[in-house]
């Protein structure tokens, strides 16, 4: 019986991967992309034709489009007409759902105590053990 062999590949094991710590796109978005939005606006009467098409799909007068198409058109129109809904972010909890402790008001500390606190925070942030 013949042995199963690994398929041969022409690529090196890690080819196409970025070096550790290297950005996937170090130069950023290409400058030509900025002109795309301008081009689309110029070709669609400043987006009016896009809105007209989405309205036609949403209204579905000739029953051509499915409810999924209508829902997508509705969402597109609402997002552009009224803006996307704001999503509230609760900054008082951490990932495990426990509440963070209240941060005490230090504005009334005397300068000496404030300097001690500042030094302690600096030590903690530097990763040095407390003395």
Domain ranges of the chain: 47-83
In the prediction, which pLDDT does 113 show?
82
> In angstroms, rounded to a whole number, what is the distance separating the alpha carbons of residues 78 and 60?
17
Residues paired with 99 in a beta bridge:
93
pLDDT-derived band at 55 (thresholds 50, 70, 90) equals: very high
Q: What is the rounded average pLDDT for all residues in the chain?
A: 78
DSSP string, 27-82: T-S-GGGHHHHHHHHHHTTTTHHHHHHHHHHHH-TTS-S-HHHHHHHHHHHHHHHH
What pTM, to 2 d.p., does this model score? 0.44
Which of 6-15, 23-32, 35-44, 61-70 shows the highest mean pLDDT? 61-70
């Amino acid at each position: 019986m013949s042995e199963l062999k690994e398929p041969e590949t022409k690529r090196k094991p890690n080819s196409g991967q970025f070096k550790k710590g290297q950005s996937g796109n170090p130069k950023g978005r290409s400058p030509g992309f900025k002109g795309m939005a301008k081009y689309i606006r110029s070709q669609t009467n400043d987006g009016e034709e896009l809105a007209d098409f989405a309205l036609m799909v949403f209204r579905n007068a000739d029953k051509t489009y499915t409810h999924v198409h209508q829902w997508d058109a509705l969402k597109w129109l609402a997002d552009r007409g009224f803006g996307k809904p704001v999503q509230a972010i609760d900054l008082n909890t951490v990932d495990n759902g426990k509440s963070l402790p209240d941060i005490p008001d230090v504005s009334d500390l005397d300068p000496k105590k404030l300097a001690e606190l500042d030094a302690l925070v600096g030590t903690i942030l530097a990763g040095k053990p407390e003395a």
